[in-house]
């Protein structure tokens, strides 16, 4: 099932709202966008989000709940070494939300959090203040969809619009918005990068539940390019399945034939990898998924495919792309 309309009343049966979050504009907007949801006041988001003995597969099947909260902790983090930096020596990410409307079997969030429920932070004024403070030290390249996919929350919250407006307004700020959805509204600006994860339909159908299909993503990519936006294509994470060459080959053919690649900023290629700290819980939360039950090897506390396979997978897709795209702008992870 693809997520067509996130403002559907059925998306969140319950919205938990911190008492401190009640007075924020985003809170009012979310609640009025979801009139069918039951609103439950709470003291602190951790009372719900961090509860012990939560069952992620069960919460996902039964419908994730939304929690509106004030982020009183860190608002911006420095990226870890497994993160993609695309040549930026300093790479940072913001956490406007925790957890995701989508449900990818292999998502590291399943290994990081004890819940499938989603926290959306409503105190955008504090994020703005923090960004301005960081900009005093120089330009800032900021990912805003690292612990979530923000696009499915846009209709109810305006979170994407907040960040795109901020990027346009503040000198030195560039934002990157990564997605597996297929947005249709874009803000063309040299300071906003729309990064699309490109996956074959066979992978999306098996492992990337509720995300947009390949055709939908590629239509959205073309629309972003036509609108004059900066676009990045991420063939990452590639997931190993039997017959992966044919599957990724068909996908690459489709990308080449349907996207004006000369208008694409850059690309990334990467195979699935995850911190060794998350693999146990990830496997527990996706017990039937071949994507995460693969016998990975551990290297520097990162679980990944064996070297030979990883190399073969990346080389396979690189060899197809380098014929049609400047190889220097293909980053590998």
Residues that bind ligand SF4 (CB under 6 A): 100, 102-104, 107, 109, 148-149, 180, 211
In angstroms, what is the minimal distance from the CB of 178 to ligand SF4? 8
Q: Which is nearer to ligand SF4, 134 or 212 (CB)?
A: 212
In angstroms, what is the minimal distance from the CB of 165 to ligand SF4? 23
- Which residues contact residue 90 at a Cβ distance below 8 angstroms, ignoring those fewer than 6 apart? 78, 140, 141
Contact 86, 331 (CB under 8 A): yes
Q: Which is nearer to ligand SF4, 134 or 210 (CB)?
A: 210
Torsion of CA 26, 27, 32, 35, to 10 degrees: 140
Q: Which is nearer to ligand SF4, 180 or 320 (CB)?
A: 180
Helix/strand/coil for 86: coil
How far from 230 is each of 146, 189, 323, CA to CA, in Å? 18, 7, 21
In angstroms, what is the minimal distance from the CB of 98 to ligand SF4? 10
Q: Which is nearer to ligand SF4, 153 or 225 (CB)?
A: 153
In angstroms, what is the minimal distance from the CB of 231 to ligand SF4? 18
Q: Please state, in angstroms and rounded to a whole number, the distance separating the CA atoms of residues 317 and 271.
A: 11
In angstroms, what is the minimal distance from the CB of 319 to ligand SF4? 26
Q: Which is nearer to ligand SF4, 117 or 320 (CB)?
A: 117
In angstroms, what is the minimal distance from the CB of 255 to ligand SF4? 19
Q: Which is nearer to ligand SF4, 102 or 194 (CB)?
A: 102
Burial (Cβ within 10 Å: 0-12, 13-18, ≥19) of residue 20:
middle
How far from 134 is each of 3, 80, 141, 146, 260, CA to CA, in Å? 35, 18, 11, 18, 35
Q: Which is nearer to ligand SF4, 231 or 320 (CB)?
A: 231
Q: Which two tokens stand for residue 124?
A: 């955008």
In angstroms, what is the minimal distance from the CB of 234 to ligand SF4? 11
Burial (Cβ within 10 Å: 0-12, 13-18, ≥19) of residue 16:
buried
Instruction: Look at the block and give the residue holding tokens 């795209």.
Output: 325
The angle, 0 to 180 degrees and rounded to 10, between the axes of the packed helices 214-226 and 244-258 is 30
Burial (Cβ within 10 Å: 0-12, 13-18, ≥19) of residue 83:
middle
């Amino acid at each position: 099932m693809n997520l067509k309309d996130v403002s559907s009343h059925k998306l969140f049966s319950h919205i938990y709202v911190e008492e401190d979050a009640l007075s924020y504009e985003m809170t009012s907007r979310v609640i009025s966008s979801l009139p069918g949801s039951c609103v439950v006041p709470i003291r602190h988001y951790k009372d719900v989000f961090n509860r012990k003995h939560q069952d992620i597969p069960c919460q996902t099947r039964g419908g994730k709940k939304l929690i509106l909260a004030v982020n009183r902790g860190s608002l911006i983090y420095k990226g870890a070494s497994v993160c993609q930096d695309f040549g930026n020596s300093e790479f940072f990410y913001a956490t406007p939300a925790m957890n995701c409307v989508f449900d990818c079997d292999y998502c590291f969030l399943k290994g990081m959090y004890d819940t499938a429920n989603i926290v959306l932070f409503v105190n955008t004024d504090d994020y703005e203040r923090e960004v301005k403070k960081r900009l005093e030290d120089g330009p800032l390249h900021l990912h805003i969809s690292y612990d979530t996919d923000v696009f499915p929350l846009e209709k109810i919250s305006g979170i994407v619009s907040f960040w795109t407006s901020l990027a346009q307004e503040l000198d030195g700020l560039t934002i990157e918005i990564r997605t597996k959805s297929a947005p249709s509204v874009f803000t063309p600006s040299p300071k906003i990068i729309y990064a699309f994860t490109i996956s074959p339909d066979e992978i999306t159908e098996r492992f990337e539940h509720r995300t947009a299909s390949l055709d939908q993503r590629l239509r959205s990519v073309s629309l972003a390019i036509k609108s004059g936006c900066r676009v990045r294509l991420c063939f990452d994470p590639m997931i190993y399945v039997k017959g992966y060459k044919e599957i990724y080959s068909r996908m690459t053919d489709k990308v080449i034939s349907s996207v004006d690649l000369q208008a694409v900023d850059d690309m990334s290629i990467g195979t699935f990898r995850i911190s060794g700290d998350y693999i146990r819980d990830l496997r527990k939360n996706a017990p039937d998924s071949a994507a995460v039950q693969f016998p990975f090897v551990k290297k520097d506390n990162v679980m990944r495919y064996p070297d030979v396979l990883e190399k073969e997978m990346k080389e396979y897709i690189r060899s197809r792309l380098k014929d049609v795209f400047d190889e220097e702008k293909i980053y590998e992870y």
